[in-house]
A = this chain, B = another copy of it.
Amino acid sequence: MNLILLFEEDFTAQERVLLYGRRLEHIRKVHRANRGDTLNVGLLNNRMGRGKIIAIDNSSVEMEITLDHEPPPPLPLTLVIALPRPKMLRRILQSVASLGIKEIYLINSWRVEKSFWSSPFLAPERLNNELAIGLEQAKDTIMPMIYLKRLFKPFVTEELFLLAEGKNSSSISTFSNPPADSAGTNQRRPIAITAHPGAITPCPEGITQSSILVMGPEGGFIDIEIDTLEQTGFTTVNIGKRILRLETAVPFIVSKLY
């Protein structure tokens, strides 16, 4: 936790918060912070700053908060991944949130096990918990949006098609906080790619516009899924000879792209 993420309900006065539970534990056991110490804090979907500890004991910590700067710019990348197994999903979400990705679609695919869709980890509060851990790691406050899409073909041919055309479909929020250096680039069509082992085209590098990155499940998308994605405007690209797991491949590709 390089930043303590605050929520509106933590505030007891304009610049005072009272924290319990996981954040208190972390402040006591990892930061080993005492009265008078200051910590990095940030208000959910809002500014960041410092919190000075006014009082701390076994049951709560009280801080005086100053919020004086903006969170880092979001990564202008929309991530579309076949739903991973629950254990891996947690780590992926933490990692993805730490990278600054703000739009995440979890989709079905032939090789996604049906049971994954009934995992209790898919409850919104649990998904948000994992994302919050990623934000706290990376020092960010802007909570990513997650969309669950259980029907591959209608999602790809309708919603993803509109996204790839540079049109946001109705359920999709726009990047409210585009990077400072990308003024006007939101008008451009995004780079739309599917990372898939064995593809011929190499992954683009050093792009300046927004992008949509699609990645398959363990074992990969099946041919008909790749065909559907290609017909929807997604270029199938490779990232080298090695087949990387989702959790390794996502940071690897993000780093290539931007």
| Residues of A near any B CB (own CB < 8 A) | 2, 30, 72, 91, 94-95, 98-100, 137-140, 197, 219, 241-245, 247-249, 251-256
Contacts and interface: CB of A to CB of B under 8 A. Distances in A.
25 contacts: A2-B243, A30-B219, A72-B241, A91-B91, A91-B247, A94-B245, A95-B247, A98-B242, A98-B243, A98-B244, A98-B245, A98-B248, A99-B242, A99-B244, A99-B252, A100-B242, A137-B245, A138-B243, A139-B241, A244-B251, A247-B247, A247-B248, A248-B251, A252-B254, A255-B255
B243 A139 contact: yes
Nearest to A135: B242
Contacts of A244: 95, 98-99, 137-138, 251
B2 A245 contact: no
A195 to B, nearest CB: 12
For the complex of A and B, list the 6 residue pairs with the smallest distance between their C-beta atoms, beginning with the closest: A255-B255, A138-B242, A251-B252, A72-B241, A252-B255, A251-B251
